[in-house]
Structures are given as C-alpha cells and as structure tokens.
Amino acid sequence: MQAVTAENAIHASVLLREVLSALAPRPGGRYLDGTLGLAGHASALLEQAGEGAELCGLDRDPQALARARERLVPFGERCHLFALEYASFCAALDELGWDSVDGALLDLGVSSLQLDVAERGFSLHGNGPLDMRMDMGEALMNGRRREVMPYMENARVFVNRADFPTLKRIIEEFGEDPQAGRIARAIIDARAVSPIETTKQLADIVRQAYPPKWRATARNHPATRTFQAIRMAVNDELGQLDRFLDEILDRLAPGGRLAIISFHSLEDRAVKQRFKRWSSDCICPPHLPHCVCGHKAEICLLTKKPVLPSREELILNPRASSAKLRVAEKLPRLPGAIRRRAPA
C-alpha cells in the first residue's frame, strides 16, 4: 500500500484504511469497484485480499480507466475492467458470469484527475471549455433522458438553454445555494448578450451575482456550489446512485459488504435512508397500528454514524474534508423469504 505524502496527497484514495477495514477482502473473493478512478482503492483491496481475489472495476471516464488499467497490470487476469457507469454494474457482472460479489465500493463525486485538468471543464479555478461530462461525451445518458432534457448534453448546453425555473431549481437543490435565484437570473441575463462558453465566464457571472457582503465573507469561491450543482445535473449523479441502490442487494452475497463514500449531503442522505430501510424489520407508514408489509431486515449496519477522515488525512488531503463512509453487511436470506424492494 502506498504511503500518503504531501506530494501524492491530491491523488490519494480517500478513507483508504477505513475502506479496507470495512470490506475485509479475502483470498478468492469477488469485489466490485463501481467508481474505479485511478484504482487506488482497487489496487490496495487486491493486494490485501491475496491470492485468487478478483475485481470488477467500472469507470465511465476513459482517461481514468486507461490510468487504472496501467496501475492494475501487476494483478493480471484478476482484474476485469469495463467502460461503464456504475449504475450499469449488473451488465458487467452478467458478462463475467458472476451471480454475486463479496464486496462493493462506491467513491462518489468528482476525481482529482477531472478537477486538475482545466480542459475537462470541472474546475472554476482554471479556464477551460464549459463541459463537466465525466464520460467525456461518449455515452453519458440513456436515450429517454436526452429526449426529455436535451439541454443536459453538457454544462455549456445546460447553462445556455435551461430556463430560469430549471436553473434555479438545480442550483438550489443540488448546490444548496441560498442565492440560487440571483445566480439563475444573472446567467439568463448574461447569455442574452453572448453565449457562456468557458468556466471562467460562468465563475465570474456567479461571483458578480452574489451580494458584495456575501462575496467578502465567503469561505470558498461563490461559484463553488453552482459548479457542483451543474456537474451533478449533467452527469445525473443522484439518478445513478438511486439505480445502483435499486440493484446492489440482489447481487451482494450473504455476508458481503457494501461501502459507499459520499461528498454531498444529498448523496449521503440517499445512502443513509436506503440503509435504514434495508436494516428495518418493518417499513410500514408510522400511522399504521401494526405491520402489514412483511419486510425483514436485509442488512446489518456496520456504521451507525458515518466514518469521517482522520485529522492526519485531512492535513495531507484537504479534498477529503466532506467525505463520509457508510458500510453495511448483507444478512443471510431466511428460508422462504421473499425479496421486497424498498421504495426509493
């Protein structure tokens, strides 16, 4: 396992020790990494698991996948990599002939590789084309979503085509920015003069939309939340998470563990709520006098509260500051029990 130093901290895998402890990889196990990135978690997992362990790794970013493939060369045929969004993990498992996995990991959000390359259009600190597509435009969304929301093609199209209510809702909901209305109006007014093409243009527009007092006292750049919101919308990040959670329990072996690292309150809330349903013996509405759902707990919560980065990790890797890890273990299915999918 590579030691974390100041030189490599920005590319360090978040909560690495905690993830390995949570998944407890073993020889011969089968593991899914749905957000492979630069393969930091994956390589450490295979190294700790030992002989015979296999990995199914997914990433929709072709640049990240190429880097991960190089890093995982020492593990040879034990690694099976796919250019897929993590919500489509069942297709990869089916291709491998795997009915189930012994552990699954998601490390949500944007990667250092994406943030540090201005041409990818994720960062407000450089100047690049307004893009933000995690898959670089190769297969971002299914046909239905393109048909319903054609302005979601990339960040530039979204910013220049979405109407005021949509812009405001996205910035308010995904960015949790109290200035969402002012920002949306500023974007509408600016694009009426000329199209918004670059990250610097958008960052400057949002900054000027903030009240002067807010700009002076803001801890981060005023456009931070807007960039986050647009990225989440363009890449359908919450939709991806919901679809993954809909399917993962059916493909997790009894005793298998699921570990999810989130960086956004909405993502963490979605994971927390789903884990709560899965770990409950009853999911009936609270007003009912007795249980009628017949639901039985399907997981054991291994983290009643999220695991946070240590002080040491935060010193070396400030980007980990908002990371939260939640872990669950699938319970053995009782004889005759019927799998009931909890409502999303």
Residue 53: which of 94, 1, 105, 103 has the closest Cα? 103
Sheet-wide strand order for 30-33: 79-82, 54-58, 30-33, 101-107, 252-262, 324-330, 299-301
Pairing between strand 324-330 and 252-262? Answer: antiparallel
Contact present, 72 and 52 (Cβ < 8 Å): no
| Sequential pLDDT tens for the chain (344 residues) | 333 333 333 457 999 999 999 999 999 999 999 999 999 999 999 999 999 999 999 998 888 899 999 999 999 999 999 999 999 999 999 999 999 999 999 999 776 655 555 556 567 777 888 988 887 665 444 443 444 344 467 899 999 999 999 999 999 999 999 999 999 999 999 999 999 999 999 999 999 999 988 888 878 889 999 999 999 998 899 999 999 999 999 999 999 999 999 999 999 999 999 999 999 987 777 777 777 777 789 999 999 999 999 999 999 988 889 999 999 999 997 554 444 444 44
The one-letter amino acid at 169: R
DSSP E strands in 197-304: the ranges are 252-262, 299-301
Query: How many other CB atoms are found less than 10 A from the CB of residue 141?
Result: 19
- Give the whole-angstrom CA distance, residue 133 versus residue 152: 10
- Give the whole-angstrom CA distance, residue 46 versus residue 20: 10
pTM, whole model, 2 decimals?
0.86
What is the DSSP annotation of 56-108? EEE-S-HHHHHHHHHHTGGGGGGEEEE---GGGHHHHHHHHT-S-EEEEEEE-
Task: Please count the CA atoms within 13 angstroms of the CA of 164 that sit on its side-chain side.
Answer: 8
Residue with tokens 């946070």: 308
